[in-house]
Structure 1
């Protein structure tokens, strides 16, 4: 139990009705979870307004309500707190309730369109190899040192973040690496957290179903760096035109990394093969098991972050050479017939282009590149033709299929993708709605030495159709079909 006024520390209060000297059991923003002596925080979301559920929360036993507008009926035995923004209040309250755990470890946030999961996960891997207790908050999973928990959002809600950070603190975790999504920043989920540093990867077309414009999307990302304390570091990609924008108003110590332009941390690709990269990182050569230019950027960001967090350079280089690729990020296998199958999370135009350009850079051009790709339903529709254009322009054959259609009609999504295919590339493409059948067809089309890219779902082990999830793992499925071809 905590005292309400302690939970409200540093929350800007517009008005209070009732006592803040009451004992509180828990905090909830979902009224259905409220029990006796809980605080209910009414948040105005994009889909629903929590203010509609205040009365229900009180009936379930809420002892206090935090809201942006007082309800018409005020009950004398309930404390009402009026604030300007309930989501901001929730973030600060969550940190206070769990004892501000982010202050007890070194928390580093990674934001950008592509590369967040890879950088956060590999930093977790690297610091574990260096002998530290480490935490991870990512799209793929949540790790409290060696214990794994399932992840539901790229950036969880404020209560969930602080709950896990408290567990990490209690377990003696020293470093935590966290993906920070634009949704998470916009909804103030990271407010109230003390960051040791922030990393910006890149910015490209994504989430315009949520953000009205690209400029808004960029500025939301920038807000994360604006909020960093002066004791933190801000590390940005100097080759991305938005990298400098992120640093414009930050109080943090600023650093850049780049392959093409002048930067504090520089990398040069000496060799690029399917079995890895030979890189020069600030004049130090290192062989890594990851593939492609986009991973050279990721490795460089990891190298810079490790140094900024105090790791010894030679030790960092040794550990970087041992890093293994993240599930669903350029994850590949080679069948007995020498067919290479690659599974990648590429679900944005920029990410798909990066992966296909990497494949085309490495291959000898005697092989075919067969791409299986779709687009998610109930998400940004404007990127669909771009995905179709890139896939058909950079592959020798393309199978358009379903991703996670969600509530949309799969055929309609595929039609949107096909609109981006230029006339000269029509003959390269075919459409198969069933994703499993599409992967099977790609395997049947492949000859020895050909390359199959299955893009879009990566690490996901499910497919969502009409609101229902069923088991679906791209890597397992392509592996099974290639085995069948061997018989």
Structure 2
């Protein structure tokens, strides 16, 4: 595509340099620049893309988009007031507005986003649709998977993924939409058909100034569904009626709203029956009622299933198809994932890293545990410090035996993080900074019918320490600890 054709999508800009070069790719990462690429300078929290213009040109950049004038000899320069907004428009244009041809479902909320997208993937697969998923664990396009670095990638990566989905004839795509992505405009220009809200609890207050600002960011997904009613491509908001933020989010959208909840909402559950092996209930919907059974456990799993059902109903999926998908789902990696190495007690790995999610998981396990409930828990570095004492309090309240340890300390001192968690505590607990040793000690302490929860990292296969990602998988460490305990 020619540069002049590409930047024609921008309403206001200044171009320096007469040559109309051919653009073969678009990127905001100077490390990825290749011959023919358009390099867009983004000002981030840790670095400024304008510092890498010379490097990008050396690597073959055909043109530069920036927020300030820079003298360039032979490379065209396009100056705009906001490169993040320009990047979203350029990416959409370069990749031929890929989401206009997809059914796109966005899921936002503090907890449950990953599970809801996985459940939707199961539902639409059961409905014989080709699917795509973008989220915390991976990006999936039909049968292909790709690693991800952020819950919600940047605008260029998103449009590239969605373009590939259209090439692979994907019918419906689900994506997790983080508050960071909404606030930073990473999803500008994406044509969402359904927006789903799971819940709101304390998280990311290292980024957002307070919970009101956090909610404001979440509300953007619903306001961005648009103000126009298009009967050719109807849009819907699906909102958790039981959450305190429900009214604000309902008012944020002009589109039809489906609410859900345990006992209230357009979609709700009757006669919930739980056990250590699964859950069942009657799902009441505007389309009728259906019996649901699943190997997922816990009340929060009911919420996740109701949320997914709401989005699927909005896209015309039948109730029997939804129930069938719930019956065969095996869950999500790192979400209440059991570790089985022949032991007589339970080991569960879960991504719970917020006060609300940790409490939900511990309450669920407490309800099915016949012995002692033990937990290994830490908090990530360079993240909301205010939740650290709350996480510790919840662990002490609901578990019989607590091991405080390191999570992903990043550039913080692990001991300082643990001090934030434990300085106010009274009562008995164990503090073992080395996560591998903490898991080993916790496993060794388990007896028949106990349950050990290893919380915080879930599906992650690394520990991030001082800018380096070191191989570390809670599931593998737990399994090794069980086997070593028999020696």
Relative to the length of structure 1, the TM-score reads: 0.93
Deviation, 1:431, is 0.4
Deviation, 1:117, is 0.7
Separation in structure 2 between the aligned mates of residue 133 and residue 36 of structure 1, nearest angstrom = 34
Q: Determine if the alignment matches structure 1 residue 83 to structure 2 residue 80.
A: yes
Among 353, 378, 386, which residue is 1:374 paired with?
378
Deviation, 1:420, is 4.7
Deviation, 1:56, is 3.8
Q: SS in structure 2 opposite 1:53?
A: helix
Deviation, 1:245, is 1.5
Deviation, 1:302, is 1.2
Q: For residue 266 of structure 1, what is the aligned residue in structure 2?
A: 268
Q: Determine if the alignment matches structure 1 residue 253 to structure 2 residue 252.
A: no
Q: 1:333 to 1:29 in 2, by over 3 A?
A: closer
Q: For residue 30 of structure 1, what is the aligned residue in structure 2?
A: 29
Among 281, 294, 309, which residue is 2:283 paired with?
281
Separation in structure 2 between the aligned mates of residue 457 and residue 353 of structure 1, nearest angstrom = 16
Residue by residue, what CA displacement relative to the aligned partner does 1:439-462 show, whole Å, maximum 9, x if unpaired?
Answer: 111112111111101000000111
Separation in structure 2 between the aligned mates of residue 270 and residue 247 of structure 1, nearest angstrom = 26
Deviation, 1:58, is 3.7
Q: Determine if the alignment matches structure 1 residue 63 to structure 2 residue 46.
A: no
Among 354, 358, 371, which residue is 2:360 paired with?
354
Q: SS in structure 2 opposite 1:13?
A: coil
Residue by residue, what CA displacement relative to the aligned partner does 1:167-200 show, whole Å, maximum 9, x if unpaired?
Answer: 1111111011111111111221111111111111
Separation in structure 2 between the aligned mates of residue 4 and residue 173 of structure 1, nearest angstrom = 29
Trace 1:132-281 onto structure 2 (pairs within 5 A).
Answer: 132-229=129-226, 230=228, 231-260=234-263, 262-268=264-270, 270-281=272-283
Q: SS in structure 2 opposite 1:381?
A: coil
Q: 1:469 to 1:416 in 2, by over 3 A?
A: same
Separation in structure 1 between the aligned mates of residue 366 and residue 431 of structure 2, nearest angstrom = 23
Residue by residue, what CA displacement relative to the aligned partner does 1:357-412 show, whole Å, maximum 9, x if unpaired?
Answer: 11123335xx2111100011122211111111111111111000011112121111
Q: SS in structure 2 opposite 1:247?
A: helix
Q: For residue 468 of structure 1, what is the aligned residue in structure 2?
A: 468
Q: For residue 393 of structure 1, what is the aligned residue in structure 2?
A: 397
Residue by residue, what CA displacement relative to the aligned partner does 1:238-276 show, whole Å, maximum 9, x if unpaired?
Answer: 11111221232323221111114x311112352111210
- Larger displacement relative to structure 2 (329-338 or 281-290): 329-338
Q: SS in structure 2 opposite 1:23?
A: coil
1:3/1:20 contact within 8 Å kept: no
Separation in structure 2 between the aligned mates of residue 150 and residue 321 of structure 1, nearest angstrom = 28
Unaligned 5+ runs, structure 2: 229-233
Q: For residue 413 of structure 1, what is the aligned residue in structure 2?
A: 417
Q: 1:10 to 1:245 in 2, by over 3 A?
A: farther
1:135/1:175 contact within 8 Å kept: yes
Residue by residue, what CA displacement relative to the aligned partner does 1:206-244 show, whole Å, maximum 9, x if unpaired?
Answer: 111122222111111111111113432111111111122
Residue by residue, what CA displacement relative to the aligned partner does 1:293-327 show, whole Å, maximum 9, x if unpaired?
Answer: 11110011111111111111122212211111100
1:337/1:449 contact within 8 Å kept: no
